[in-house]
Amino acid sequence: MPKQLMKGNEAVVRGAILAGCRAFFGYPITPASEIAEAAALLMPEVGGVFIQAESEVAAINMLFGAASGGVRAMTASSSPGISLMQEGVSYAAGAELPMVIVDVMRGGPGLGNIAPEQGDYYQVVKGGGHGNYKVIVLAPNSVQEMCDLTYLAFDLAEKYRNPVYVLADGFIGQMVEPVEFPEPKLPQIDKTWCVDGTAETRHNLITSIYLAPEELEQHNLRLKEKYDRIKREEVRYEAYKVDDAELVLVGYGIVSRILKSVVDIMRGDGYKVGLLRPITLFPFPDEKIREIAKTAQVFLVVELSTGQMVDDVKLALNGMREVKFYGRCGGMVPSAEEIIEQVKSIFEELEKEIEHQK
Amino acid sequence: MATTILKKPSTFYEVFTRKPDADKINTHYCPGCGHGKLHKLIAEAIEDLGIQDRVIIINPVGCSVFLYYYFDTGHIQVAHGRAPAVATGIKRVHPHSIVISYQGDGDLAAIGGNEILHAANRGEHITVFFVNNAIYGMTGGQMAPTTLPGMKTTTTPRGRDIHNEGYPLKMAELIATLEAPVYVERVALTDAKNMAKARKAVRKAIQIQVEGKGFAFVEALSACPTGWGMNPPDAERWINEVMTKYFPLGVFKDISDKVEPVKFERKILTPEDIKKAIGIDGGEITQVKKYQRNTVAEKYKNPKIKIAGFGGQGILLLGLVLTQAGMLEEYHVSWLPSYGPEMRGGTANCHVNISETEIASPLVSIPTVLIVMNRPSLEKFERTVKPGGIIFYDNSLIDIEPSRKDVEVVAVPATKIADDLGSTKVANMVMIGAYIGYTGILTKESVFDALDMMVKRKEFNELNRRAVEAGMKFVM
């Protein structure tokens, strides 16, 4: 299939439909609204459902209903809307329902603004709802990945019977780039657990309630086992010129694109700089970071936040190496040049230290 | 009472194995509770209608959270108040299923007020049973939205004060005011006469869904002897004598004879149909065509372009056409807009990359090419241009000149040229012509094809093309 120019938010819906998604429930919010708009246009064309819900609370619960039916279904929103959905995500994780949630992050806290930010890392990756649960989080950094990772999200959601997030930002959502689309899938409903109004599923029960403490503990431990399996099997990242890097930049989403420019420019000037881009934020590429730390001296985490993912980098390294942070927020986006200044000053510090040690 | 338990409907499990305590025969409800009565009516109706395999019951939060202990049907247990939203989701994806949403008064009328109103208003093809016992039973007797004025509960210890807590919500009356609901009735789960009416209402509400007619709602006044601190006979009497004064029984809406049944049909598509339906079958794409790139001077290669002006000048389209043409010529491309309120009036700008190699950052903070169509944009972005870069500006609109001496400057009276062609709107196209003509970065051919792909209103094509050519002519 030839490539096609497309906006990130529109590529999401096509990736979803190609993965077999046939239901979308959402509530309009900038900068994610194009996803609902594209779904409203396209879902009926493929025999799917589109409902503009009365709120994000209703949207996530409609999704809960459709997911209970074993059908591939999704919602999309932006930061404040995701805050409202957290109750439903906790229930879905507890009831082990596969579902896909796209978050096109904007500036916060509160109403904040509609500019791109990465301030939802905590509420999405750490699970903003109650209880011991985890969600798989995929972080696209191009329009192609808005399609591909949404497509993948449905497979992962079903494989683990767990909510999966596609965590994007305003830039990735609004950006236009060429996309090559994958082949359509026509998934079958798994009747072993869902309820679809047939005799085969009559004895199935979708629930997150386990009244007896012993049972609820067992349920939690079973979930933890599942999350551990996800940690072992689903880590995805992109490592760029890290092999001989003295300083490794870490960033996801739109930031990773800027960081790649930084690496290219600085390598041209002889600086040994590399980039690690987590594609899965949960599971986080801890092991890869530790492996890189065997050769790299220092890590610089860059985010469109005041520092959230940086915690996970620090946890992965557990004091092995120094971790620096540079962030902009509120819709401010650092230029490659701005980050280069930061990197250069870190290199100067390193040299001074080496001098001092001599 | 023995006469009422003649036979357990087959819709109930024979033994309640899902119930965690030792007693697997009796329900968990208190003596005299209305839930058991309503459960039985629903179970009988399901049995009589022969739909057991198709039924999915939405289990709410409250005393009836354990519906799945008793009904041998599909079940979804949901969050407090959200049953109608969950019911919507499952019914829409499996329209042949019979979805029964069962909620108490706190669940439906307080925390889930929004969900029930909108599900009713959309006319969802679901059946809703609303148990109104004027109190929160499960949490131990707190005020419900349906608690009567003056009634004592643990959170209205002096009695419900309408100046502090407002009035009881009359949900059946409220739902009946909406256009979409097909059938709305309030019944009382009390004496034999009322039970007979309730039985009829329950059956009808499910029948309406079976027939594909739409939304049905039955409110059942139900005893909570424990919560009310009464014995069961007194509790029933209190419903009949006191509660029904505030919540009158009867049919509030019934258009079941008038509505046309809906037939649900599933669309079955092949992979090719799907691609076509979502516009990725390559139908309009002319990419098989090979474009001969121009020879481009080194300094104009791999441009990082910023385009800016005010809303309505077609700034974003200008960028998109360059992006599309670049893609046709098999360059790596990206386009990034300013978005949101910025776009609704005021200024607009976008970032375009056309590159021989993979594009790292799509953001253009230091442009090598700046195309500006109003003065504020020139003033804002001139200083960001990379030394050795190039600025194109519309000098028919901008009354100052760029002051930078370390960049190339090309003045294009784009708006004037566009006016001479007959439409101010094509000034953006003149700018495209000037840019590609001056630098050679893209060919006229690819730009024309890009225009065909991007501009939906074909009647503008001729004028757009002439504008591009006029721009090229001006700089060459």
Identify the band that residue B1 occupies on the pLDDT scale cut at 50, 70 and 90.
Answer: very low
Does residue B224 contact residue B238 with C-beta atoms inside 8 Å? no
**Cα(A281)–Cα(A315) distance, rounded to whole angstroms?**
13
Closest Cα to residue B76, out of A305, A50, A202?
A202
Q: For chains A and B, what is the number of CB pairs under 8 angstroms?
A: 235
Give B419 to chain A, closest Cα distance, Å.
30
Is pLDDT of A112 > 50? yes
pLDDT of res. B105: 96
A305-318 pLDDT, tens digit each: 999 999 999 999 99
Contacts with B315 from chain A: Cβ below 8 Å: none
A171-218 pLDDT, tens digit each: 999 999 999 999 999 999 999 999 999 999 999 999 999 999 999 999
B86-127 pLDDT, tens digit each: 999 999 999 999 999 999 999 999 999 999 999 999 999 999
More confident residue, A115 or B209: B209
Contacts with A2 from chain B: Cβ below 8 Å: 282, 285, 287-288
Report the residue of chain A nearest B55, measured CA to CA: A197
What fold, for A238-357? Rossmann fold (3.40.50)
The domain B294-475 having CATH identifier 1.10.150.120: the answer here is: no
B325-336 pLDDT, tens digit each: 999 999 999 999
The CA-based angle A47-A52-A56, given to 5 degrees, is 125
Long-range pairs, A219-223, Cβ under 8 A, ≥24 = A219/A94, A220/A131, A220/A132, A223/A93, A223/A96, A223/A132, A223/A133, A223/A134
**Cα(A302)–Cα(B461) distance, rounded to whole angstroms?**
45
Q: What is the average per-residue pLDDT within B71-81?
A: 98
Residue written as tokens 């208003």?
B121
Q: Which amino acid is at B62?
A: G
Average pLDDT, chain B: 94
Average pLDDT, chain A: 96
Give B386 to chain A, closest Cα distance, Å.
12
Is pLDDT of A102 > 70? yes
Q: Is A181 at the interface with chain B, CB within 8 A?
A: yes
In the CATH hierarchy, which top-level class contains the domain B2-254? alpha beta
Is pLDDT of B283 > 70? no
Q: What tokens appear for A280 in the block?
A: 């899965």
Report the residue of chain B nearest A91, measured CA to CA: B79
Q: What tokens appear for B259 in the block?
A: 């509505």
CB contact under 8 A, B85 and A61: yes
Residue A102 φ then ψ, to 5°: -105, 130
Identify the band that residue B284 occupies on the pLDDT scale cut at 50, 70 and 90.
Answer: low
B359-396 pLDDT, tens digit each: 999 999 999 999 999 999 999 999 999 999 999 999 99
Does residue A98 contact residue A192 with C-beta atoms inside 8 Å? no
The CA-based angle B94-B97-B6, given to 5 degrees, is 160
Name beta bridge partners: B307.
B350, B371
Does residue B152 contact residue B158 with C-beta atoms inside 8 Å? yes
pLDDT of res. B138: 87
pLDDT of res. A356: 84
CB contact under 8 A, B90 and A68: yes
More confident residue, A341 or B286: A341
- The backbone region for A150, taken as left when phi is positive above 0, alpha when psi lies in -120 to 50, beta otherwise, is alpha
CB contact under 8 A, B85 and A65: yes
Cα torsion angle, A235, A238, A240, A246, sign: negative
pLDDT of res. B345: 56
pLDDT of res. B2: 44
Q: What tokens appear for A334 in the block?
A: 């650092």
**Cα(A98)–Cα(A192) distance, rounded to whole angstroms?**
14
Q: What is the average per-residue pLDDT within A47-73?
A: 98
- The backbone region for B173, taken as left when phi is positive above 0, alpha when psi lies in -120 to 50, beta otherwise, is alpha
**Cα(A260)–Cα(A255) distance, rounded to whole angstroms?**
9
Give B310 to chain A, closest Cα distance, Å.
19
CB contact under 8 A, A178 and B267: no
Choice among A239-248, B26-35, B455-464 with the minimum mean pLDDT: B455-464
**Cα(B201)–Cα(A75) distance, rounded to whole angstroms?**
36
Q: What percentage of chain A reaches a pLDDT higher than 90?
A: 96
Give domain limits for chain A.
4-233, 238-357
Choice among A253-267, B2-16, B58-72, B327-341 with the minimum mean pLDDT: B2-16
Distance of CA A114 to the CA centre of its chain: 19
B239-248 pLDDT, tens digit each: 999 999 999 9
Q: What is the average per-residue pLDDT within A39-62?
A: 98
Residue written as tokens 């609303």?
B130
- Minimal Cβ distance to B335: which of A73, A176, A212: A176
Is pLDDT of A21 > 50? yes
In the CATH hierarchy, which top-level class contains the domain A4-233? alpha beta
Report the residue of chain A nearest B111, measured CA to CA: A57
Q: Which amino acid is at B291?
A: Y
CB contact under 8 A, A175 and B59: no
ipTM of model: 0.96
CB contact under 8 A, B92 and A115: no
- Minimal Cβ distance to A198: which of B53, B118, B281: B53
Q: Is A214 at the interface with chain B, CB within 8 A?
A: no
A119-161 pLDDT, tens digit each: 999 999 998 999 999 999 999 999 999 999 999 999 999 999 9
- Minimal Cβ distance to A260: which of B323, B336, B360: B360
**Cα(A8)–Cα(A146) distance, rounded to whole angstroms?**
6
Closest Cα to residue B131, out of B222, B210, B237?
B222
B34-48 pLDDT, tens digit each: 999 999 999 999 999
Is pLDDT of B287 > 80? no
pLDDT of res. A1: 61
Residues contacting B421, CB < 8 A, separation 6+:
B463, B466, B467, B470
**Cα(A97)–Cα(A204) distance, rounded to whole angstroms?**
13
Give domain limits for chain B.
2-254, 294-475
